[in-house]
């Protein structure tokens, strides 16, 4: 069973499951704001979308815990590639009372390979009434 299948099974077994439309309505405005701050290179505002104890995994490359480490990893990425646009496809939205899951495929321009194909899974957690990314994983989709 893949990671996303496991997450789907867990989300559908919870009695307070949210509809795809509910989750999409919560997350789409957040991702639009994140994209704006990403393209501006505004790391401080971008980090406000992450839980203080968040974990970001670049599968097989590195792991960052907490906003400070995540910020350092993202800064290295920005310094290397700049703030490039990206194309999202196959987005999936799942959720229950206090957790939301977003999974998608992403094409990212790269000077080394022209385009990097990446799968992204983000788990959002409700903290004091606000939704924050608690876990995020990037994995090659090659």
- List the structure tokens of 124: 């959002």
Helix (H, G, I), strand (E, B) or coil at 79: helix
CB atoms within 10 A of CB 4: 14
Q: Which CATH class is domain 3-140?
A: alpha beta
pTM comes to 0.84
pLDDT tens, 26-41? 999 999 999 999 888 8
pLDDT digits (tens, 9 = 90+) for 67-112: 999 999 888 877 777 777 778 899 999 998 889 999 999 887 766 6
Q: Which helix (DSSP H) or strand (DSSP E) does residue 94 occupy?
A: strand 87-95
Instruction: Report the percent of the chain where pLDDT is more than 70.
Output: 86
Domain parsing of the chain, residue ranges: 3-140
Residue 4 has pLDDT above 70, yes or no: no
């Amino acid at each position: 069973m893949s990671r996303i299948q496991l997450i789907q099974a867990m989300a559908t077994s919870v009695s307070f499951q949210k509809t795809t439309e509910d989750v999409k309505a919560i997350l789409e405005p957040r991702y639009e704001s994140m994209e704006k701050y990403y393209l501006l290179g505004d790391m401080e505002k971008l980090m406000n979308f992450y839980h203080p104890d968040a974990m970001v995994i670049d599968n097989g490359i590195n792991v960052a815990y907490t906003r400070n480490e995540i910020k350092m990893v993202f800064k290295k990425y920005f310094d290397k590639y700049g703030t490039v646009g990206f194309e999202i496809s196959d987005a999936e939205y799942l959720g229950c009372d206090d957790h939301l899951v977003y999974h998608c495929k992403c094409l990212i321009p790269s000077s080394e390979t022209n385009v990097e194909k990446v799968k992204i899974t983000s788990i959002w957690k409700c903290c004091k009434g606000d939704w924050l990314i608690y876990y995020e994983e990037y994995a090659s989709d090659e």
